[in-house]
């Protein structure tokens, strides 16, 4: 990646300081350390290669040099004080604020792919982007805490650009794809990150508006289809995806027609091949 070109492309976006690494373990981990040291809002960490990048539930996110896009943004939300700091992980996993920031990265990336390349990407709730039912990008939002105070949210985004960014099939938990497979031409990392961040900053101003939820819902994958939601304790819920609640929770219609809200946490979302279970 051409660092000078990167800085020129980002110059008009009014971000915080930018740190670029030819190779790093994880952009999210670096951004979290930076946040703890006082990184200002919208500080950006970009890497050409990640050796230990990760997605949700500790899964690995592959970023080979020149093959994909990997960056993390430090965001300062309004401070949140928790009544019981020992339970903050449980509380946070059910908090619509962090979910909206995850969706912010997904909506911005989807919009950028459409505007820059004419590629339609759906959002597999809450954080993956799919093109023709194959994963092309992922978002990971993590909280940075100081005691019981939320100091920052680290928003990490990864996009598969070349075919080399797709790991071997035996390591995939969902079919994957890349930009160049669809476009048939090279994609510049600088152009892509600039498009995503421009969209992200625009939507951030409207993050708490109904318009944001409607846009997110418009991009939602599997609407009207049967899916199985698998929770961390291996219990499962089967139903039809109805859309999103006003808070951004997934609305699932069960077999007996009751509609429930899936409120987040670490879960799998799998489409069922049959019309109903």
Domains defined for the chain, CATH in brackets: 3-218 (3.30.930.10), 226-271 (2.30.30.100)
Q: Which helix (H) or strand (E) holds 190?
A: helix 189-204
How many H-runs (helices) and E-runs (strands) does the chain carry?
A: 7, 12
Average pLDDT over residues 76-95: 44
**Nearest CA among 132, 130, 126, 138 for reference residue 217:** 126
Q: What percent of the chain has pLDDT over 90?
A: 60
Confidence of residue 93 (pLDDT cuts 50, 70, 90): very low
Reply yes or no on whether the pLDDT at 1 is more than 80: yes
Indicate whether 80 pLDDT > 60. Answer: no
What is the pTM assigned to this prediction? 0.88
Residue 172: in which H helix or E strand, if any? none
pLDDT tens per residue across span 100-137: 899 999 999 999 999 999 999 999 998 899 999 999 99
Contact present, 72 and 39 (Cβ < 8 Å): no
Structure-model confidence comparison of residues 7 and 95, the more confident one: 7
Cα–Cα distance, 167 to 169 (Å, whole number): 6
Structure-token pair, residue 124: 């597999």
pLDDT digit string, tens, across residues 234-269:
888 899 999 999 889 999 999 878 999 998 766 678
Residue with tokens 């996110």: 61
Q: Has residue 56 got a pLDDT over 90?
A: no
Contact criterion met (CB below 8 Å) for 29 and 141: no
């Amino acid at each position: 990646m051409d660092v000078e070109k990167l800085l020129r492309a980002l110059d008009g976006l009014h971000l915080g300081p930018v740190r670029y690494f030819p190779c790093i373990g994880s952009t999210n981990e670096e951004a979290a350390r930076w946040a703890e040291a006082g990184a200002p809002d919208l500080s950006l960490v970009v890497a050409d290669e990640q050796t230990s990048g990760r997605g949700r539930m500790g899964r690995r996110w592959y970023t080979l040099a020149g093959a994909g896009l990997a960056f993390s943004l430090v965001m300062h939300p309004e401070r949140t004080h928790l009544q019981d700091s020992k339970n903050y992980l449980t509380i946070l996993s059910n908090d619509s604020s962090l979910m909206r920031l995850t969706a912010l990265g997904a909506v911005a990336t989807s919009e950028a792919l459409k505007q820059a390349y004419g590629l339609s990407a759906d959002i597999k709730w809450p954080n993956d982007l799919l093109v023709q039912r194959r994963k092309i990008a992922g978002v990971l939002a993590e909280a940075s805490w100081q005691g019981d105070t939320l100091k920052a949210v680290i928003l990490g985004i990864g996009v598969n650009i070349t075919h080399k960014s797709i790991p071997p099939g035996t390591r995939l938990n969902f079919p994957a794809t890349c930009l160049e497979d669809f476009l048939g031409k090279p994609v510049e990392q600088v152009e892509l990150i600039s498009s995503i961040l421009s969209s992200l900053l625009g939507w951030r101003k409207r993050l708490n508006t109904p318009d944001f939820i409607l846009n997110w819902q418009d991009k939602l994958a599997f609407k009207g289809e049967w899916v199985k939601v698998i929770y961390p304790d291996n219990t499962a819920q089967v139903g039809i995806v109805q859309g999103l609640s006003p808070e951004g929770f997934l609305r699932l219609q069960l077999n007996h027609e009751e509609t429930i809200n899936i409120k987040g946490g670490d879960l799998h979302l799998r489409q069922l091949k049959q019309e109903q279970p």
